Amino acid sequence: MPGPDPAVAATRSAVRRVLDGAAGQRVVVACSGGADSLALAAAVAFEAPRLSVAGAAVVVDHGLQSGSGQVAARAAQQCGALGLEPSLVVRVQVAQQGSGPEDAARNARYSVLTDAAQDLGASAILLAHTRDDQAETVLLGLARGSGLRSIAGMATFDAQRGLVRPFLDITRAQTEAACAAQGLTWWDDPHNRDPRYTRVRARQILPALEDALGPGVVAGLARTASLARSDADGLDELAATATAALGAPPWPVRELSRLVEPVRRRVWRRLFPETAKVHIDALERLLGDWHGQVGIDVPGGVRVSRREGRIEVGPSPGRSRLVE
């Protein structure tokens, strides 16, 4: 007897890997009605009962488009027909924030998903981000030039927020093929083609990069995320260990100077969590370019200064100013 369609098999295998060992728990699938999340819902509905895991679905209606209520209701209906119970629709009000509509919608969505998961007693929220989404995230991080963590992309397991992304090695084409093979009708969100959104512009660039540089750009960017995440996690671990070893101030200049710069910058951020890059650059100068500066005023009402081979911390007479 022939097995399932290859795309269906790939989605199920991806879900099986993340649900293995979760017997007796409940998970929630975040479903928009698009191909990615419907393929995820179908894979969870198939695999969860076989692993003694309870599967539910939550569809968030952002109310940003005409007919969004009908789209959400249809998505919940399909999730329920697949066997995910309950399959709920939650309406959310998206606040207009300075960070832009994409961030505002995402923040509102994650907030209601977290609340719904708690209400349902779920241990995790499953999101349908694909390898294509990961590549877009890395491309945006590279464009911003904001460091290693920004190109580390999304993690499969985000324990802090209870998020799981099984499809980071699955392509968008595979999710569409999986839906087609299972007779699922997905919704193409017109916002996904609207160039006003930064991510959409990144999505439109990727095919051109593939044409210019050859196939494999998306896979390469996704692989970059995995490598960068591993490196960033390792540096964060070293910084946590170094911070604990320093103890309370004052700190010997010699001890801080022995740390390699990427670790030391992370240590500064742990010691002074509200600092921006400009403050960390100034703190670095206390070690490597010190010429009797009065000190550095960092956010939180703190002044950091150097005296007699030690870095001292005390109250700041000013507010978040750089004093040279």
Q: Where does residue 56 rank: exposed (0-12), middle (13-18), buried (19+ CB within 10 A)?
A: buried
Q: How far apart are CA 117 and CA 115, in angstroms?
A: 5
One-letter amino acid for residue 113 of the chain: L
* 36 labelled binding-site residue: yes
Cα distances from 28 to residues 93, 279, 297, in angstroms, run 21, 41, 45
Q: Which residues contact 287 (CB under 8 A, 6 or more apart)?
A: 253, 256, 257, 264, 306, 311
Helical ranges in 97-216 per DSSP H? 101-120, 131-144, 172-181, 198-213
Centre a 10 Å sphere on the Cβ of residue 75 and count the other Cβ atoms it contains: 25
Radius of gyration of the chain (CA): 24
Is position 162 annotated in a ligand binding site?
no
Assigned token pair, 276: 């921006």
Measure the CA–CA gap between 218 and 10, rounded to whole angstroms: 18
Residue 195's beta-bridge partner residues? none
Of the candidates 252, 260, 276, 309, the one whose C-alpha atom is nearest the C-alpha of residue 296 is: 276
Using CA atoms, how far apart are residues 5 and 294, in angstroms rounded to an integer? Answer: 68
Residue 150 counted as an annotated binding residue? no
Q: How far apart (Å, rounded) are the C-alpha atoms in residues 71 and 266?
A: 44
- Sign, Cα dihedral of 164, 166, 167, 168: positive
- The answer to whether 66 touches 106, Cβ cutoff 8 Å, is no
Q: Is 35 flagged in the annotation as binding?
A: yes
Annotated binding site: 32-37
Annotated binding site for ATP: 32-37
